Amino acid sequence: MSFWLSVTVLTLVVALICFYPLFKTVKPIRTAAHAVKRDELNKALYFQRLAEIERDEAQGLLVNAEQLKTELQQALLEDIPATTKPQSMAQKSYGRLWFVSGLLTLGILSTITYLSVGSWQAEAMLEKTYQKLPHFYERLKDEQNNPLTESELQQFSTALRLHLQKSPQDAKSWWLLGQVAMNTDKAQLALDSYARANKLEPDNNEYKLSYARILMFSEDPTDKSQGDNLLKEVIRQDHSNLEALGLLAFRYFEVEDYKMAAVTWSMMLRLLGDDDPRKALIERSIHSARASQEAQDAEKHEQLVPKQ
């Protein structure tokens, strides 16, 4: 509604700027100048003739001086040009008619142009995509068996953005947008979305873990450090959180703190059941961390003890 009101006001402003001169009465310059000269000449002849009559009357040559003065005044009045008011009114009427015609033409042309190349089609498509948001929520329930296609993920992302424009405090939708962004390789969007979700609900470990995970894979050391702190916060709240322990162990291994990596993986191993398929992988990770620790210790020993 506000869009069409803005368009109407803008059209009226443009029309006034373009067609305002049509309201003005146009007077021919030469005609006006000619009328002024004619009036001045008539006045000069009138006063000259009046002076002659008065002179003749003073000399006693005229007996009907008053009649001659009356006739002279009558002749002057008859020589005054007719008023141009009707013509001016006609010109104003034509000007208004042209203004209305120009305004209608401008409105029709602008409407046709907008309908042909305007953004209304894109707006209509966005609205249809937004209306499909409940459908995408239902699809998520069967994501394991029937995953969303690339096209559906793009539509889901657009629908979530539109929803968040109306409900910016919806932490879950921000987190979902981050999940979709991760699946469509939009790292910056995922980072921003996870950050917003974590800010809105700082005690939600799921949002915190997602945010920490993407921070840890950043090239910025500050982001990595922030990710470490978030993981430690999760573990302090939930000592059995396997995902947080796994990410933290990987982080320790990455910075060559092999002892803490082995300790963290050992904590995970105690939390897993005997038939858990992840158990073998974690055991290999522990052996790798301990071997790396031994190699690191041997290298430090060689540096401290010079060769004989």
Please determine, for residue 84, whether its predicted confidence score (pLDDT) is greater than 90: no
How far is 239 from 16, CA to CA, in rounded Å?
A: 73
Report which DSSP code applies to 149: P
Side chain identity at residue 125, one-letter code: M
Q: Which residue in 186, 5, 176 sits closest to 167, CA to CA?
A: 176
User: Helix or strand or coil: residue 277?
Assistant: coil
pLDDT at residue number 306: 61
Cα–Cα nearest to 197, from 220, 224, 169: 169
Residue labelled with tokens 């995922």: 190
| 274 or 74, higher pLDDT | 274
238 or 129: which leads in pLDDT: 238
In the numeric block, which tokens belong to residue 150?
A: 């690339």
pTM beyond 0.85? no
Report in angstroms the alpha-carbon separations of 94 from 20, 30, 86, 105, 275: 13, 22, 12, 16, 95
Q: Each residue of 202-218: pLDDT tens digit?
A: 999 999 999 999 998 88
pLDDT band per the 50, 70, 90 thresholds, residue 297: confident
CA 23/CA 102 separation, integer angstroms: 12
Show Cβ contacts of residue 219 under 8 Å, excluding neighbours closer than 6 positions: none
The stretch 63-84 carries a mean pLDDT of: 63
Q: What is the rounded CA–CA span in Å between residue 206 and residue 224? A: 18
Under the banding of pLDDT at 50, 70 and 90, the label for residue 301 is confident
User: Would the pLDDT of 27 be above 80?
Assistant: no
Angle 173-175-176 from CA coordinates, rounded to 5° = 65
Q: And the tokens for 86?
A: 């009707």
Q: Which residue has the tokens 């050391």?
A: 221
| b/e 9-27 (16+ beta carbons within 10 angstroms → b) | eebeeebeeebeebeeeee
Q: Predicted confidence band at 5 (pLDDT cuts at 50, 70, 90)?
A: low
Query: Which of 196, 188, 190 lies closest to 170 in space, CA to CA?
Result: 196
Hey, how many other C-beta atoms are within 10 angstroms of the C-beta on 3?
10
Which pLDDT score, from 0 to 100, does residue 299 have?
A: 85
Q: How far apart are CA 242 and CA 30, in angstroms?
A: 98
CA atoms of 229 and 223, how far apart (whole Å): 10
3 state SS of 201: coil
Q: What is the pLDDT of residue 253?
A: 92
Position with higher pLDDT, 308 vs 75: 75
In this prediction, residue 15 carries a pLDDT of 61
Q: Is the pLDDT of residue 120 over 70?
A: no
Predicted pLDDT at 243: 92
Token representation of residue 77: 């009045």
Percent of the chain with pLDDT over 70: 63
Q: What is the C-alpha separation between 269 and 265, in angstroms, rounded? A: 6
Query: Which structure tokens are listed for 156?
Result: 């889901």
Summarised one tens digit per residue, pLDDT across range 42-61 is 667 767 776 777 776 677 66
- The pairs formed by 23-26 with CB atoms below 8 angstroms and a separation of 24 or more are 23/92, 23/95, 23/96, 23/99, 24/95, 25/88, 25/91, 25/92, 25/95, 26/91
Mean pLDDT, the chain, rounded, equals 79
